[in-house]
Structure 1
Amino acid sequence: MSLRYQINIRILFSSLCILLLGGSIAVWQARQAVNEEIDASVSLAAQLIRLGFSQTMFNESDWLRRINSLKETRHLQFQLQTPSGQILNVVQKEAGKSDEERPPQWFIALVGGKHSKTEQPIVTADGKQFTLLIQANPLDEITEVWGESVAFFISLAVLTLLTFLAVHLAFSKALNSIAIIVNALENIEKGRYLEKLPAFSTLEYDSIAKAINHMTDQLSKSQQENRALTQHSLEIQEDERQRLAQELHDELGQSLTAIKVMAVTAAHQKADIQQTTEAIVSISDHLMNVVRSMMHQLHPLVLTELGLKAAIEDLLGHWASRYPDLRLSLDCTDNVDELNQKITIQIFRVVQECLTNIVRHAEANQASIKIQIEHAQEERLRLEVRDNGQGCVGDQIKTGFGLLGMKERIQSLGGEFNINTQPQQGMCIVASIPLTR
């Protein structure tokens, strides 16, 4: 069920409740008005009759004429009754309401109610006693109240209809804005980050639109960075393959060719076996060093065999031997060797890339690496690499593929990657990775 349909149903139900409540109030007020009007008319007629007949003793022809004149009184019916119970004269209105003018029977039943009779004793000049019966006849008053109630109900219905239309238009405008936002989210789902939401007149929707537009800008920027990083990774992969192929050709190919030539030479009777053997051993040692170097570049075996701490210590020793002016320190707990291999290889590569950047760009003479496992709300691995180099402006740290690659490595593990740097104040790289064991 759509939101528009639910809102329309609720508005319609509320409107019907308002009309029902308004109609009930109108009927109740009409009933009160009719009762008050009828009671007042009966009371006034009884007082007037009591006052008129108590002042003068009329003969029979006079009081008949006076009683007949009461037929002009609204809302009342008069009957003259003898002591024996016989009705001598009934005074009614000359013309009643036509069927078209009469209100509906259900309205008469709701509003009319029951009205008691009023009896007034009358004594003529010759001493005859009669009883004048006054019966309420509220039809005229009910007819008037019916007209007023119809006018009130029509006004209430018109106001309710106008309210319904106003609310419906307001919700329709809101729902149209929601439809535009949903369509924009669907475009984001399809990767269409360049399509922007328009400005809305409603403040809340305009805030949502600005937030979504900002999100699409960030997604578009991240998409461009990922594409550039992927392209850079492919280029590095191709360069690495080309370098390995060149080394295999230059080192392994030539060395194996030399060994083969020496082996063939050693087959001759006049060959110097000892010299040939020494040459083959020397070439084999060189090949072992080349293979070991290539294996270390592809994947450090010490990381698999001895763990993360030993691998980083070996890496620091390698850099310290190449750059003796750079002082390197390591603070690492022993339990990091129990981490998942997927995490350890990523941490090792991040540290490796950090050291490469420090040597190439930082112009630092001191760097420290700290790896700890924190036990707070959840167990996390914290890596901190700090140097005292020249640092850089915050905008410049987003241009390097090395930093971007480190960020992607940490985020691939569900972690957080932050860089803190200021010009001439060094750089501090902090990575935090959740641990699930």
Structure 2
Amino acid sequence: MISEPVPAAAADSRRRLPSLWSGRPMRARLMVVVVLINLVAAAVSGAVIIIKARTATQVETAASIAVAEPLVAETLQLMQDAPVPGLFRVLTLRFQALRHVRVRLLDANQAVVEERPGSGPEARRRAPAWFARLIAPPVLSHEVPLVLQGRRIGTAIVTTEPSDEIDEVWGYAVALGLTGATLSIAMLAILFFAFGRLLRPLERLAEGLTRLEQQDYSPRLERPDTRELAVIAARFNRLAEALEGARAANRQLNRQLLTAQDDERRRTALELHDEFGPCLFALEANAASIGRIAGTLEDPARLRLQQRTDDIAAIVKRVQTINRALLSRLRPAGLGQAPLNACLDLLLRDLARHNPGIAIEGDFRALRRSYGDLVDLTAYRCVQEGVTNAMRHAQARRIAVRAAEEAASLVIRVADDGIGLRPETKAGRGLPGMRERVEALGGSLTLDRPGSDAGTVLAAVIPVDAAGTDAPDGPEMSPA
């Protein structure tokens, strides 16, 4: 079966309607539904009023026509001896009491004698023409002969005229419509504020979920009055508590893992320093001793031994250089024995010595002597990684490093004047490793890019114990 293609205009309208409805606030949707219900109720009420009014008007006009003939017969019976002009005047006066009809009196020659004054529909109609067309029943006309003393003296033509009845119905409909509109507006206003109050817990729930998405598990929702929303709020609070507990446990595990890693590195560094270092020194001393012994020999043995001892000495020096680099990576020299600010100053001087074209400034005067092995090592690595990245990737000519204790946290900032991080720059392992280490201590690490050519700011915030007893060390504690 082949379906007919849908016209483009119909398809556009179908796409436009969901776009107008989707994404709207719930309060707006509820208000639209209530307004549509009111409009449907108003349309149904209007239809009922029109049907009832049309039926009532038809009954009223038919009853008025039915009253006209007995009224003429009664008048003629009472005025058998009256002159014809007087009879017509009396009939006119009596017809004025009739409603919903128009009466025209004709004489025997079919000439108009009297017509009920003010009976024209346009003279008194207040209802709109469209409303009159909806209400007005079919026009009926009835001729009543006027017979006096056995002689026909004229005719009374009675025609239905429901204008006054339509005016009454219009007035009733206007009053009812104004009353209904006022009540609907008042109801919409009440519902607007009521929906806002009922939906406010959902707004707080959305804000809480946003904060949970941002890994902030501290928000708690108040218990709403609505039972269903109270259940949701209770479940949300339990979820936040569970996530907060899981994060605390995860931080504790990460902290224990870092402690174990640092202890292992410390032991490895100690073994390299205490075991491997003396062995290298012994090799170097033995090579020098062999060189001295070779000096007592004659050529060509002396030259061959001297060349071998020089090769052994070169290899030993290279291994010693590699050993010192390994020791520095495993455990920076002096960290834990010297004050933290002295270690950081020494790090910056060493980096500046190997990069003479870059100005590196450091301000660590407000630091305590130590914040513990984990925090000290993390701060050292953050400064080392931040300065290294600025020199390697940002092409910076000036780097400013500052570390201070602010609000029970150690705040480290590394700012440079380089080209900033480009979108095509690939992320290495250093920065993600530092972020994991800082977050394991309950802190945060951010990389801010003020602009494409405004450099980069690396900021690390590490919570510390505010009850530390070590006083801040001044610049005189730094090694020369």
Match of 1:145 in 2: 169
Could you tell me which residue of structure 2 aligns to residue 87 of structure 1?
112
State the AA in 2 paired with 1:220.
E
Alignment of 1:99-114 (within 5 A): 102-114=126-138
Measured in 1, the distance between the counterparts of 2:231 and 2:122 equals 65
Q: Which structure 2 residues correspond to residues 5-20 of structure 1 after superposition, within 5 A?
A: 5-20=28-43
27, 35, 44: which one pairs with 1:21?
44
Is 1:75–1:140's contact at 8 Å kept on the other side of the alignment?
Answer: yes
Paired position in structure 2 for 1:73 = 98
Q: Distance in 2 between matches of 1:206 and 1:42?
A: 69
Q: Give the counterpart of 2:185 among 144, 148, 161.
A: 161
Instruction: Answer yes or no: is the 8 Å Cα contact 2:110–2:154 preserved in 1.
Output: no
Pairing of 1:24-423 with structure 2 (within 5 A): 24-50=47-73, 53=76, 60-61=83-84, 63-68=87-92, 69-82=94-107, 85-93=110-118, 102-125=126-149, 127-245=151-269
Partner SS for 2:96: helix
Assess if the C-alpha contact under 8 Å between 2:147 and 2:153 holds in 1: yes
State how far apart, in whole Å, the 2-side matches of 1:121 and 1:238 are: 125
TM-aligned CA deviation for residue 84 of structure 1: 5.0
2 CA distance for matches of 1:128 and 1:243?
140
Displacement of 1:113 after TM fit?
A: 3.7
Matched with 1:314 is: none
Contact kept in structure 1, 2:140 and 2:160, CA below 8 Å: yes
Deviation at 1:173, TM superposition (A): 1.7
CA drift at 1:262: 11
> Aligned-pair distance for 1:111?
2.0
Q: Is 1:120–1:131's contact at 8 Å kept on the other side of the alignment? A: yes
Kept in 1: contact 2:80–2:148 (CA 8 A): yes
How many Å separate the matches in 2 of 1:23 and 1:96? 24
Cα gap change, 1:119/1:233 in structure 2, threshold over 3 Å: closer, same or farther? same
- After superposition, give the CA deviation of every residue in 1:280-327 in whole Å (9 maximum; x if it has no partner): xxxxxxxxxxxxxxxxxxxxxxxxxxxxxxxxxxxxxxxxxxxxxxxx
- Is the Cα contact below 8 Å between 1:59 and 1:124 reproduced in 2? no
Q: 1:215-266 CA distances to partner (integer Å, 9 max, x unpaired)?
A: 111111111111111110111112223344555677777889999999999x
Distance 1:219 1:143 in 2: 71
8 Å contact from structure 2 (residues 143, 156) kept in 1: yes
Distance 2:171 2:180 in 1: 14
Tell me the TM-score normalised to structure 1 length.
0.52
Q: Which range moves more in the overlay, 244-253 or 208-217?
A: 244-253
Deviations 1:172-192 (A, max 9, x none): 123322221111112222222
* Paired amino acid for 2:140: S
Deviations 1:364-405 (A, max 9, x none): xxxxxxxxxxxxxxxxxxxxxxxxxxxxxxxxxxxxxxxxxx
2:156 aligns to what SS in structure 1?
strand
Q: State which drifts further: 134-143 or 8-17.
A: 8-17
User: Per-residue CA shift, 1:307-359, capped at 9, x if unaligned?
Assistant: xxxxxxxxxxxxxxxxxxxxxxxxxxxxxxxxxxxxxxxxxxxxxxxxxxxxx
Structure 1: 5+ residue stretches without partners: 269-437
Whether the 8 Å CA contact 1:67–1:91 is kept in 2: the answer is: no
Change (3 A) 1:126 1:59: farther
Q: Could you tell me which amino acid in structure 2 is paired with residue 198 of structure 1? A: E
State the 1:123 CA deviation.
Answer: 1.6
CA distance in 2, matches of 1:245, 1:65: 134
Number of paired residues? 269
Give the Cα separation in 2 of the matches to 1:150 and 1:84: 46
* Code of the aligned partner of 1:34: T
Measure how far apart 1:213 and its partner are.
Answer: 1.0
**63-72 vs 189-198, which deviates more?**
63-72
Letter of the structure 1 residue corresponding to residue 24 of structure 2: S
CA contact (8 A) 2:145 2:152 kept: no
Rounded to whole Å, the distance in 2 between the matches of 1:254 and 1:46 is 142
CA contact (8 A) 1:60 1:125 kept: no
Aligned Cα root-mean-square deviation (Å):
3.8
Q: How far does residue 109 in structure 1 lie from its aligned partner after superposition?
A: 3.0
Is the CA contact (8 Å cut-off) linking 2:72 and 2:91 kept in structure 1?
A: no
TM-score by length of 2: 0.48
Task: Report percent identity of matched pairs.
Answer: 26
Please give the secondary structure, in 2, of the residue aligned with 1:77. Answer: strand
Q: Distance in 1 between matches of 2:284 and 2:118?
A: 143
Amino acid at match of 2:64: S
> Is the alpha carbon distance of 1:79 and 1:58 closer, same or farther for their aligned partners in structure 2, counting shifts above 3 Å?
farther
Q: In 1, Cα distance between the equivalents of 2:272 and 2:73?
A: 137
Equivalent residue for 1:296? none
